Amino acid sequence: MSEFQNIGLIGRTESESAVISLRRLMAFLERGGYSIVLEEETASAVVDHNTRVSSKDKLGELCDLVIVVGGDGSLLAAARALAKFSVPLLGINRGRLGFLTDITPDQVEKKVGEVLSGKYMAESRFLLDMSVSRNGKVVGRGSALNDVVLSPGEFIRMIEFNLYIDGQFVYTQRSDGLIISTPTGSTAYALSGGGPIMHPKLDAIVLVPLNPHTLSSRPIVVEGSSEFKIIIGEHNIAKPYITCDGHDQVVTEVGDTIRIHKKPHRLTLIHPIDHNFYETCRSKLGWLS
């Protein structure tokens, strides 16, 4: 018997192709006798079903495995919601890039079947927790599997901030912002900003300045246990935004303190047994074979 009996499904509801793959996956799981739980928004897109429906949080309590049908963004959202429950995630790619959702739609039965029979790889990934304090009071929180990003917000202006790592002052910077990225996020926005590709198994965090107003500012890689403090400078006209995986947006003000550190709960990401990080880089980033 499979170790995964209660399987939660989350889909990219605005995508017709994702809904088609969801239906195909549901039929496959029903034939195998598995207990299926649909996330409530996903259930609204998959009409005419007799499947149990649950909130995203409840999936973490009810399920042994959650399968996400969509793009990397769908899996990021599921990871932020479910990491605290220690339920593993498996991704079927119905998005564009698919660094995290690595099963192709035409392989659903074959690859999901292999995973359910115990033929899979499990990776542990860490997330980041972020909080914004104003006058000693927390005014916003968020978590991220990919990255926490400080940006100018609605105005295209340079912003000024002070950076501290583990209580030590690093620099005052004027730039378009800063990306604080996990190894998972190193192939996302941080890569576009000139950061290094980091193997997912690394216990490290990279800080990537966005268009810094100096020639000497470069990405910094530090250990994963590091704690970061960013203080919004006094000479900002714009009100910088801080976001987590592009969500949980908080509009900051002069003097606000942003704190970022590793989340205590880790995510278990399931891959097919033949998953290869370097092959994924070759295919997704167009490296020569």
H or E segment at 239? Answer: none
Q: Is 81 annotated as a binding residue?
A: no
Query: Tell me, what's the pLDDT at 153?
Result: 84
As averages over each run of 10 residues, the pLDDT of the chain (289 residues) reads: 92 87 94 95 85 90 95 94 95 86 92 96 97 97 98 87 98 96 97 96 97 92 98 87 94 96 97 93 86
Q: 210-244 as b/e, with b when 16 or more CB fall inside 10 Å?
A: bebeeeebebbbeeeebebbbbbbeebebbbbbbb
- What is the reported pTM? 0.94
In which domain, by residue range, is 54 found?
6-118
Strands 137-144 and 120-134: antiparallel
Task: Determine whether 256 is an active site residue.
Answer: no
Using the structure block, give the residue that is written with the tokens 């965090």.
205
Q: Is 187 annotated as a binding residue?
A: yes
Find out whether 68 and 91 touch, Cβ atoms under 8 Å: yes
Find out whether 129 and 217 touch, Cβ atoms under 8 Å: no
Query: Tell me, what's the pLDDT at 237?
Result: 77
CATH number at residue 63: 3.40.50.10330
Torsions phi, psi for 109 (to 5 deg):
-65, -45
Indicate which residue of 72, 102, 245, 256 is catalytic: 72
Residue 11 domain flag: yes
Find out whether 228 and 164 touch, Cβ atoms under 8 Å: yes
Query: Tell me, what's the pLDDT at 156?
Result: 80
The count of structural domains within the chain is 2
Distance CA 88, CA 101 (A): 13
Within this chain, do residues 144 and 253 fall inside the same structural domain, yes or no?
Answer: yes
Within this chain, do residues 214 and 98 fall inside the same structural domain, yes or no?
Answer: no
Within this chain, do residues 44 and 113 fall inside the same structural domain, yes or no?
Answer: yes
Within this chain, do residues 132 and 96 fall inside the same structural domain, yes or no?
Answer: no
Q: Is 238 annotated as a binding residue?
A: no
Q: Is 257 annotated as a binding residue?
A: no
Within this chain, do residues 90 and 204 fall inside the same structural domain, yes or no?
Answer: no
